[in-house]
Structure 1
Amino acid sequence: MSDVLVEMIQRYTDARAGDGPFTTAIEGLTILRANGERAPSHMIYKPALCAAVQGTKWMICGERRLEYRAGQALVVNVEMPALGRIVEASPSKPFLGVVIEFELAVMREVMEALHAPPQSDADAGAGVFVTNLDGPLADCVRRALLLLDTPKAIPILYPSIMREICYWLLTGPGGADVARIALASGHAQRVISAIHALRDRFTELLRIEDLALIAQMSPSAFHREFKTLTSMTPLQYQKQLRLLEARRLMVEDSAKVETAAFRVGYESSSQFSREYARMFGAPPGRDVAALRGTFAQHEA
């Protein structure tokens, strides 16, 4: 199966310029290719199946580092900022991968239809884990990629493939984590509600008490469960969201450093620049200039 997936992704990406990532005719399905190792990059991971078909990649979220290689997949159950890096790739053997974003409404429907659904009322577990990409799950990825050759079939057939993906994840080794974190009504789901509020209001002054109230938990219990789920504190989570958005504003909207800092909630541009350099490895001006140079090379 791995050879089949490699061939399919290789053929798809060979017909397109650059390394990718490549969006596809299937909403939420992205194909990855890198012909060499990549520098670490910060991004916001959405709930998704991130499959490595060839090569190796790692992800750091908070204090956790997870590596997944060919034949494995990263399962992300909660939206979170993280650092990712491709560490095994070359022109002769590029990194190849597929990202399939989850449809949580479908996940809920599948879970409700299970004869013996995984227990989902336990305390929160980590919001991301690595699983094997083999058997029926790998076949689902293969059939999803096959649909790219027949776009008219996508709206008819892809929903059933998504249901299968949800089924195999819920009934697999990590099923309890998927159910508990993505779907449950226990601690995990309440923390996720607070995460969504934090995501929508990350420019505002952070008060743990306010987030704990949304989660209907005591501040100490909320702080503990938040860190268990995301491997970072609420303050660290907010800071990464702010800095990622500021970076986007400077790169895509050509915002000045001070403007970007103010728009994401910083009152001090010097504090912003210090925290930015710690996260991205260079001061804002130098980092943005380097990113624009990289984008220009890809577009040339």
Structure 2
Amino acid sequence: MDRMPDTAKILPFSADERSSIAMNSPSPGLQSSGEGRTPPALFDAAQEFLRSRGGGQGHFQTPMTGVHIMRCYQEIPQMRRIYRPSLCVVLKGAKQILFGETTLIYKEMECLVVSVELPASGRMIGASPENPYLGMSIDFDVAMLKEVMQQLANPPRPAPASGPCVFVGQVDVPLTECVLRLTRMAMTPDAAQILYSSVMREICYWLLTGPYGAEIAKLTLPDSHTDRVANAIYYLRDNFAQTLRVEQLAEVARMSLSSFHQHFRAMTSMTPVQYQKQLRLLEARRLMVANAANVSEAAYQVGYESASQFSREYSRNFGVAPKQDVMNYKALVARGAR
């Protein structure tokens, strides 16, 4: 087994351990690449890449922008972060994601597809030194998706109604082959620089022409409900520390207030106010952990006028007070580094 590196650089901060009912998302029609088992060639390629980076556990950047390989030797508490539009594939183990009031689980050779930026919590389930979690994430190139969509002879037709912007499905054979090529290219930066875009274009094609093409296509259509809500999300992301009215966000989305509320909640499983709160608390946590900001400093920098209100909402969302959360993180780092 590979050595255990300095986890201070790679493990997330601890978060709440609130219980929730985990349930799998329906996965209509995707064909697995081998009854839910990772092909040996793909598993070996990922292991070889990690050995070339010194082994151990963590979040390993590849030479390709937006492509990461993750390995974890321990089951850790929920980690909260912003998920970008991406394809996340489990190569070994299982992972749980919680966004809003929805919980999804995806396992070996299943994938999580995220179509808009989303605050969410994730954790590896049952990871151990004997059975580590191994996964890969690939950020979407939305411009390339749009280009491929325009070239399709029979493009998918997105459903008019908004639905969750996150879903789980099995990884089919064409996608598996693309993931394998990306993993092998991670070992050869010169080849990756030249060939990465062609493999990403192929991934776009298989996603758009596969069972979830109608959902993926929503990312490519201008002036769709998904596009309008996404514009509001980008505005919210850039101005989360300010006092924003929901009416402002509806204007950015060019939707009526009632329609905006409906589509925003359908896509993200939370209200705009809840979304903004998640952004504020995530940034505050980063400030306290990475910049050693105290509770009051972090609260005011992310837009809270009251440190006590910030502490209450932080504890309610993360299940622990801010100071204790930072201490838990340091303890997690120390435990992993032993």
**TM-score with structure 1 length normalisation?**
0.95
Higher alpha-carbon deviation: 113-122 or 172-181: 113-122
Deviation at 1:182, TM superposition (A): 5.1
AA of the residue aligned to 1:239: K
In the aligned structure 1, how far is the partner of 2:43 from the partner of 2:221?
32
Structure 2: stretches of 5+ with no match in the other structure: 1-32
Q: Which has the higher contact order (CA 8 A, sep 6+)?
A: 2
Letter in 1 for 2:50: T
1:120 equivalent in structure 2: 158
Map of 1:279 onto structure 2: 317
CA contact (8 A) 2:70 2:136 kept: yes
Question: Is 2:164 the counterpart of 1:164?
Answer: no
Q: Which amino acid aligns with 1:257?
A: V
1:252 is matched by which residue type in structure 2? A
Cα contact 2:225–2:263 (8 A) shared by 1: yes
Deviates more, 1:15-24 or 1:122-131: 15-24
Give the drift of 1:120: 3.4
The aligned residue for residue 247 of structure 2 is 209
Residue in 1 aligned with 2:308?
A: 270
User: Which residue of the partner structure matches residue 9 of structure 2?
Assistant: none
Instruction: Please tell me whether residue 9 in structure 1 is matched to residue 46 in structure 2.
Output: yes
Q: Secondary structure at the match of 1:38?
A: coil
Question: 2:58 is matched with which residue?
Answer: 20
Q: Structure 2 CA distance, aligned partners of 1:99 and 1:266?
A: 33
Find the counterpart in structure 1 of residue 117 from structure 2: 79
Aligned to 1:219: 257
Length, aligned pairs only: 300
SS of residue matched to 1:115: coil
Shift of 1:148: 1.7
For 2:58, what is the secondary structure of its paired residue? coil
Contact 1:194 1:214 in 2 (8 A): yes
Shift of 1:92: 1.9
Quote the offset at 1:192 in angstroms: 0.8
Using the TM superposition, name which of 22-31 and 236-245 deviates more.
Answer: 22-31
Contact 2:109 2:171 in 1 (8 A): yes
Closer/same/farther in 2, CA of residues 58 and 241 from structure 1, 3 Å limit: same
Given that residues 121 and 185 in structure 1 are in contact (C-alpha distance below 8 angstroms), is that contact kept between their aligned partners in structure 2? no
The CA distance in 1 between the partners of 2:44 and 2:230, in whole Å, is 38
Q: Partners in 1 of 2:114 and 2:186 — Cα distance?
A: 24
Tell me the percent identity.
Answer: 48
What is aligned with 1:291?
329
| Counterpart pick for 1:141 among 179, 183, 186 | 179
The CA deviation string for residues 1-26 of structure 1, in whole angstroms up to 9 with x for no partner, is 62222222223224424311111111
Amino acid at match of 1:195: I
Root-mean-square deviation over aligned CA pairs? 1.6
Map 1:243-254 → 2, pairs under 5 A: 243-254=281-292
The TM-score normalised by the length of structure 2 is 0.85
8 Å Cα contact 2:314/2:320 also seen in 1: yes
Shift of 1:183: 3.9
Residue deviations 1:154-186, cap 9 Å, x none? 111010000011111111111111111454421
Structure 2 counterpart SS, 1:240: helix
Opposite residue 128 of structure 2, the aligned amino acid is S
User: Is residue 90 of structure 1 aligned with residue 128 of structure 2?
Assistant: yes
Question: Whole-Å Cα distance in 2 between the matches of residues 35 and 207 of structure 1?
Answer: 43
* Higher normalized helix content (fraction of residues): 1
Any conservation in 2 of the 1:121–1:186 contact (CA below 8 Å)?
A: no
